[in-house]
Amino acid sequence: MNDTLTIETAGTFAQNWTETNLPFSAKILSEAKTVLENTPFPTTRTEAWKYTRVTKISKSAFQNSASTLANVAPFNVLTDAITLVFVNGHFQKDLSSNEVLDGLTISNLAACSDEQLATLGEIVPLENEVFSALNTLYANDGVFIHVQAGKILSKSIQVLFIQDGDSQQGQIRNFISVEKNAQAHVVMGYFSADATDCFSNSLTEVHLADNANLTIDKIQLENETALQIATEQVNQTRDSIFTINTVTLDGLLVRNNLNIAVNGQNCNTHLNGIYLTKGRQHVDNHTVVDHRVPNCESFELYKGVMDENSTAVFNGKVFVRKDAQKINAFQSNGNVLLSDNATINSKPELEIYADDVKCSHGSTTGQLDEEAVFYLRARGISEKTARHLMISAFVGDALEKIENEEVLNFVEGILATKFGFSLH
Amino acid sequence: MIKINNLHASIEGKEILKGLNLTVNAGEVHAIMGPNGAGKSTLANILAGREEYEVTAGSVDFDGVDLLDMDTEDRAREGLFLAFQYPVEIPGVSNINFLRTALNEIREYRKEEPISAKEFMARVKEKSAIVELDAKLASRSVNEGFSGGEKKRNEIFQMAMLEPKLAILDETDSGLDIDALRIVASGVNKLKSDKNATIVITHYQRLLDYIVPDFVHVLFDGKIVKTGGKELALELEEKGYDWIKAELV
């Protein structure tokens, strides 16, 4: 009798997908394949996925059809930026900018030389990482950004990732490298055009060289049926500054894996996030800051507002390794629940092995202060506006971390139309 | 301006107001005094529209409008203002933003044009001077980090900005030192006109040296039991409330 238990692995899920044409090393492709053949999708019994079920992804079948859009006007966050457009993970050249900017090499990965992508995948752990393995073996395309040493880009970069169609999947792979003393600002926007039940799996590798400065404004605005897994794998070397603002305002299931390895001294790392959920949405922000060397600082501020039956997860891990002395690591997560059925699971985790550090973490969860709501109403402000004033006050400090005015205006615009705020 | 008739109200099943009657006309200042638990703050909160209280009988006519039938925000828009005894702090909501929003919602309700940014800032400057409120405080979050005196002055500043028909000051003097008291009182006096009215709820006669009332009422066990002129306040200060209790027996 054959007693073997067949584990449904991720390999079965993607068996009809087309393997990638991107020049990953044979070793990496082989490892990805092994992971997919042997590893099932994470269940809620896996600690890192305790509060996030992925059955909506794993139990569905997705296609990857070539789809093109007529225009991206509604998705333009920036007016005068170098813009690249990807639909279901495929580069749409006619909607993308071909402007040449001094110090910048930008294209879609499929158009890069093997040389440019020599280190592709090297900093991405694959063991037990089903979504990273899927993204690697079946990568469609994504953006390649390289900023030359000493160059401070005169314009921002805007990359738009758009889902379109029914049950479409897109495996988006991005590679960003900012050389010594260089500086750049990148907006990464995830949107839905005419999409139902689509699945985006985005993986962005970021390399910051000495004294490099990179700010990423990540906006997640796929529609209420969308499924997204987004991973950023960041490597910082000495004196570099990395800032990422993650704004999650829509999507049925969104899981962010933000992993930052601080491998150089005197680095600054800023992770900020805002998530507003309603309906039956689920947003999970998992972050890891790994302080491996001394004299660095990291600041993390995430604010969430959950309404109706939605749920959210915040899991912020900070590692301070044994030799990483004089680290200042601050983490704060604040949550407001607007309804009795909304849920937040917030877990700060500090693993400190050094002994001369300043680390703190704080997590709060509460409701709107009803006394304050009454006070505002007693001055003539409608109940609805009063609650909105208080919600925008609550997310205000995280929102203000967005330095680029156009991005801030764009986000405030969404808050106004989608959530009914009028902030001014 | 406001006519309260036979008002009965309870909270969590306990009756606090037991048939309160009060009439206030435009141009008048009425003081309401009484021992603790008599229902002074309850009256203020019910007029402002706090939903925790249940009105079981009676009516309140506010310039021809049935006040009890209105939501809190509409009462404010009709011209009612409550200066809170314990003003709450609202971090992240700026004083300026909040006041402009309030002013514009009131104007919209009255089918008036919204206030321009320029006119609004000019008004802020003018009115904050009335209560000697530093303009810097105006741009901070509502009451955040304000001292007790600053909070009470902020209430009067808001009153000056919103220009209500009827202002109810709920123990505005509690916790204030004599200087803060003088500033608050002076602010209230500057805002008085023959078109508006003020109800001053207080536990101490001292405030009434500065905000001189036309009528003094004693609220005792949920009803107004005695009304007099400003001398009544002095009599209460001197003799306490026991003689009133005796009179009622």
ipTM of the complex: 0.95
Q: Phi and psi dihedrals of A387, rounded to 5? A: -65, -40
b/e burial code for range B95-108 (CB count within 10 A of at least 16 → b): bbbbbbbbbbbbee
Can you name the residues that pair with A176 across neighbouring β-strands?
A145, A206
pLDDT digits (tens, 9 = 90+) for B30-45: 999 998 888 898 999 9
Six token digits for residue A262: 């601080």
Whether B72 sits inside 8 A of A369 (CB atoms) is: no
pLDDT for residue A424 is more than 60: no
| Summary mean pLDDT of chain A | 94
Residues of B in contact with A371 (CB under 8 A): 88
Spatial CA neighbour of B172 closest among B188, B193, B190: B188
pLDDT for residue A36 is more than 70: yes
Name the residue facing A378 among B76, B97, B142 (closest C-beta): B76
How far apart (Å, rounded) are the C-alpha atoms in residues B190 and B68? 30
| Planar angle of CA A195, A197, A202, nearest 5 degrees | 85
Tell me what pLDDT residue A5 has: 46
How far apart (Å, rounded) are the C-alpha atoms in residues B52 and B38? 18
Task: State what percent of residues in chain A have pLDDT above 90.
Answer: 92
Residues of B in contact with A381 (CB under 8 A): 73, 98, 101-102, 105
pLDDT digits (tens, 9 = 90+) for A351-395: 999 999 999 999 999 999 999 999 999 999 999 999 999 998 999
Tell me what pLDDT residue A4 has: 41
**A384 contacts chain B (CB < 8 A):** no
Tell me what pLDDT residue A2 has: 40
pLDDT for residue B138 is more than 80: no
Six token digits for residue B194: 């023959």
Q: Is B124 helix (H, G, I), strand (E, B) or coil?
A: helix
For an interface test with B, give the residue of A379, A387, A400 to mutate (most B CBs within 10 A): A379
How far apart (Å, rounded) are the C-alpha atoms in residues A334 and A329? 17
A113-172 residues touching B, CB cutoff 8 A:
none
The domain total for chain B is: 1
Please list, in sequence order, all residues whose beta carbon lies within 8 angstroms of the beta carbon of residue B113, skipping any fewer than 6 positions away: B107
If you ran DSSP here, which 8-state letter would residue B190 be given? H
Q: Phi and psi dihedrals of A291, rounded to 5? A: -85, 110
Can you name the residues that pair with A314 across neighbouring β-strands?
A285, A346
| Tally of CB atoms within 10 A around A417 | 9
Tell me what pLDDT residue A422 has: 58
Tell me what pLDDT residue A423 has: 52
Task: State what percent of residues in chain A have pLDDT above 70.
Answer: 97
Asked if residue A423 lies in contact with residue A411, where contact means CB atoms within 8 angstroms, the answer is: no
Tell me what pLDDT residue A79 has: 93
Whether A374 sits inside 8 A of B50 (CB atoms) is: yes
Distance (Å) of CA A356 to CA A96, A326, A348, A353: 49, 6, 20, 9
Q: Phi and psi dihedrals of B164, rounded to 5? A: -75, 165
Q: Which residue has the tokens 């009255």?
A: B110
Whether B76 sits inside 8 A of A396 (CB atoms) is: no
**B241 contacts chain A (CB < 8 A):** no
Q: Is A152 helix (H, G, I), strand (E, B) or coil?
A: strand
The lowest-confidence range among A201-205, A300-304, B24-28, B237-241 is B237-241
Tell me what pLDDT residue B135 has: 74
Whether B141 sits inside 8 A of A393 (CB atoms) is: yes
Distance from CA of B204 to the nearest CA of A (A): 25
Whether B71 sits inside 8 A of A377 (CB atoms) is: yes
CATH number at residue B160: 3.40.50.300
pLDDT digits (tens, 9 = 90+) for A64-101: 988 899 999 999 999 999 999 999 999 999 999 999 99
| Planar angle of CA B29, B34, B37, nearest 5 degrees | 130
Distance from CA of B102 to the nearest CA of A (A): 5
Residue A49 carries which side chain, given as an amino acid letter? Answer: W
**A390 contacts chain B (CB < 8 A):** yes
Domain hosting residue B74, numbered range: 2-248
Name the residue facing B102 among A379, A390, A397 (closest C-beta): A379
**A400 contacts chain B (CB < 8 A):** no
Tell me what pLDDT residue A258 has: 98
User: Where do the domains of chain A lie?
Assistant: 10-264, 371-424
How far apart (Å, rounded) are the C-alpha atoms in residues B192 and B213? 12
Q: Phi and psi dihedrals of A285, rounded to 5? A: -110, 110
**B104 contacts chain A (CB < 8 A):** no
Residue of B nearest to A396 (CA): B92
How far apart (Å, rounded) are the C-alpha atoms in residues A284 and B231? 67
pLDDT for residue B174 is more than 70: yes
Residues of A in contact with B76 (CB under 8 A): 377-380
How far apart (Å, rounded) are the C-alpha atoms in residues A45 and B133? 58
Tell me what pLDDT residue B212 has: 92
pLDDT digits (tens, 9 = 90+) for A153-197: 999 999 999 999 999 999 999 999 999 999 999 999 999 999 999
| Summary mean pLDDT of chain B | 92
Tell me what pLDDT residue A128 has: 94
Tell me what pLDDT residue A7 has: 52
Distance from CA of A292 to the nearest CA of B (A): 36
Please list, in sequence order, all residues whose beta carbon lies within 8 angstroms of the beta carbon of residue B246, skipping any fewer than 6 positions away: none
pLDDT digits (tens, 9 = 90+) for A300-313: 999 999 999 999 99
Name the residue facing A377 among B72, B87, B162 (closest C-beta): B72
CA dihedral B14, B19, B23, B29 (to 10 degrees): -40
Tell me what pLDDT residue A8 has: 65
